[in-house]
Amino acid sequence: MRIVIAGGHGQIALRLERLLHARGDEVAGIVRRPEQAGDLLAAGAEPVVCDLESASVGDVARHLEGADAAVFAAGAGPGSGAARKDSVDRGAATLFADAAEAAGVRRFVVVSSMGADQEPPEGTDPVFAAYLRAKGAADADVRARARLDWTILRPGRLTDDPGAGQVTLADATGRGAVSRDDVAAVLAALLDEPGTAGRTLELIGGDVPVVDAVRNVASH
């Protein structure tokens, strides 16, 4: 497959790029800064420099032409304020979905966040609340698109622990942690499993091998 990843320099995206390259897929990662290109090349991905906060739908659609799948893994990242949570975590996600539709790319996988469907509890840090609202709005936008075979993945608290290769994946898992390695492995498996289209799934650590966890979800 040819897979294009938005947010190609993110911690999960770089892990996913390595996995996809190792299994023989062709992968491109969209990055904002040219100096990030070397890290993508080292991961086996083709770097594509494009700022999703200022690009047009047509600009992004050109980068998606000929792709079999698109993955939205971009985020404003730590240290950014509420305005950029909206412009990246919501705005760029919507733009990327528009571009996928324009380029005729049906398979569309989103890295979201647990808790994105609820109003943040009182006392939540304002910037984190803005992030959750932006993710929730982006997810709602993607879910409404009949021209995309979308899957939304909502990991729990992310860690840098080595991947266990075993997870809990379900419509609702309850709170928990999951390694970025295991998130990347689940994303790779979701790209192979069209039966997960139209699903919003939560992910935490667990005791089911990744491929089995994805297969189990697809069969229910």
Which residues participate in catalysis according to the annotation?
A: 131
Distance, CA of 182 to CA of 7 (rounded, Å): 18
Residues 6+ apart with CB under 8 A from 60: 30, 50, 52, 95, 96, 98, 99
Question: Secondary structure of 153-215 in the HEC alphabet?
Answer: EEECEEECCCCCCEEEEECCCCCCEEEHHHHHHHHHHHHCCHHHCCEEEEEEECCEEHHHHHH
Helix axes 57-64, 93-103, angle to 10 degrees: 60
For 46, other C-beta atoms within 10 Å of its C-beta total 17
Cβ 50 vs Cβ 29: under 8 Å: no
Distance, CA of 64 to CA of 91 (rounded, Å): 18
- Could you tell me the sign of the dihedral formed by the alpha carbons of 148, 16, 64, 132, in that order? positive
